[in-house]
Amino acid sequence: MTKIVVDPKSVKAYGAAAQADFDKIRTELVQLVNDVTQVDYHGTNAHRFKTECGQMAAEFSAKLLKDAGAIADAVRTATSNIATSLGGAPIQIKVDGRAIPLPAVAKSDVEIADTSALTQLIPVVRRRFTAIDAALNSHLRSLSGTNWQGDAKTGAVKAVGSFTKKVVATGNEAETSITKFISDQVQAAQAADKSLQS
């Protein structure tokens, strides 16, 4: 026989914390896209760089938001089971799955390659991904820490844990790709500057 324990206040508090975590994730994704498209770097190459880097960030954001929606669905299903069996209220977590808007990248005839701005962009991007990972893990801890026992919770924690691991891994890959893209652009700009001086 399975022991079922549900503390409605604990589950409700989790719902509020989860909503805050998912809102934080979207905020960081929006900032990530803005960071890479608004860096102090201008000209033909910069336009292409910002456009492509922005698209990379936007594509990752779309994947993450889709997975975040799946996480929310897993929790919604589990808490709905509670509502059905014990009369508790299901948790409603709203994940804003709309595409992250990609800011228009202005074209410039003047070539301005500030490699320091590009170099400084790398730790900014890393901070965004670190914050996203922290919010995902915070959500999983909140769910695990609820005063709720039973098969529904076990299933929810397992599903959310699996999704969280997947999203963090995807984020690590995206971070590596974006930071490499930035580093390559820095090296290209520095190489071009040296060739002009020789």
Q: Each residue of 128-138: pLDDT tens digit?
A: 999 999 999 99
Note the pTM of the prediction, 2 decimals.
0.86
Give the mean pLDDT of 29-44. Answer: 90
Walk me through the domains of the chain, giving residue ranges and CATH numbers: 8-95+110-197 (1.20.1260)
* Burial grade of 107 (CB within 10 A; 0-12, 13-18, 19 or more): exposed
Please give the share of the chain, as a percent, with pLDDT higher than 70: 88
Q: Taking the CA of residue 183 as centre, how many other CA atoms within 13 Å lie in the half-sphere pointing to its CB? A: 10
Rg, C-alpha atoms of the chain: 21
Q: Each residue of 102-157: pLDDT tens digit?
A: 888 888 776 666 688 899 999 999 999 999 999 999 999 999 998 888 887 888 89
Tell me if 131 sits within 8 A of 57, measured CB to CB: no
How do beta strands 5-6 and 112-113 pair?
unpaired
Q: Give the pLDDT confidence score for residue 113 in this predicted structure.
A: 65
